[in-house]
Amino acid sequence: MRYACTDLSRLTAQLWHECDILVYNNGYHIGHETFMNIYKQLTGQNDFHFSPQLIPEVRIDKWTKEVMQWINDEYFHMRLCMEPLIWRRFTLIKPSQNYCEIFLLSCFQQCRLCARKSTHQYLCLLCGRLLNLDRICYDISKCLSFHANECGNSAACFLSISNRLILIVLGQLGAFWGHLYLDANGHEVDDLTSSVPLYLSEEQFRKLIEDWILQSFQIVFRDLTELIVD
């Protein structure tokens, strides 16, 4: 029962955090004590007055639909029994402020299979892993889908190192969200050969996080094989 209550507290704390009902600091330990605090807040045993009106209905609807999709997934039982369980906030890792730093760290990375310079590189903003893939050794679209399945339950957010665009992957589908890195004047730079310094746009990053948390994207998704070109 204690373990079940701890898992329940994690789900509830995650929901409250995303709905801005009760925001937890990064690194906050969610355990049995958290469950007791949540129970007190729900039952009105302290000064915190809980009201369903505090929760936007659209967010509750999206959250419950996501949970039902996980439960209906054929691999749900297998994943539920996997150890160790990893609890990660439903948000994105903030990349470097300067795009040049990311490029320099990745440009000389080699493909694990052939040891040649990778033709396709993607930085996962969920786990921070840099995927170094060569088109001769790998099916790029399948690799992205596989990582999305392992890292984000079929959903992942990548920064493409080559074209500097954000790539959203949902299962076998994908779409380019837009630019995170802009020039000093706040403009997008589409010329891939340009040496203009690019910096992380805080406004764009906030918008990306909002879209990611709500899973609400104003972009058209297509088969990944149509997006990934040589």
pLDDT tens-digit readout, 98-139: 998 888 888 777 777 777 777 788 999 998 889 888 888 888
CB burial of 12-47 (b: ≥16 within 10 Å; e: otherwise) equals bbbbbbbbebbeeeeeeebeeebbeebeebeeeeee
Q: Are residues 119 and 194 in the same domain?
A: yes
Looking at the 3D structure of the chain, how many domains does it have?
2
Higher pLDDT, residue 44 or 155: 155
* Cβ atoms within 10 Å, residue 112: 13
Average pLDDT of the chain is 78
Locate 172 and state its tokens. Answer: 């076998």
In a domain, 85, yes or no: no
In a domain, 182, yes or no: yes
Q: Are residues 74 and 115 in the same domain?
A: no
Average the pLDDT over 20-44 and give the result: 65
In a domain, 87, yes or no: no
Separation of alpha carbons 55 and 50, rounded Å: 10
Q: Are residues 61 and 111 in the same domain?
A: no
Comparing CA positions, the residue from 159, 152, 156, 150 lying closest to residue 174 is 156
Separation of alpha carbons 45 and 230, rounded Å: 61
pLDDT at position 80, please?
A: 63
In a domain, 86, yes or no: no
In a domain, 91, yes or no: no
Q: Are residues 207 and 112 in the same domain?
A: yes
- For the ranges 53-67, 84-98, 139-153, the lowest mean pLDDT is seen at 53-67
pLDDT, one tens digit per residue, over 61-92 is 777 777 777 667 666 666 666 655 555 566 78
Q: Are residues 113 and 66 in the same domain?
A: no
pLDDT at position 125, please?
A: 94
Q: Which domain holds residue 104?
A: 99-227
In a domain, 183, yes or no: yes
In a domain, 39, yes or no: yes
Asked which of 21, 50, 80 is the last residue of a domain, the reply is 80
pLDDT classification of 48: cutoffs 50, 70, 90:
very low
Q: Are residues 50 and 119 in the same domain?
A: no
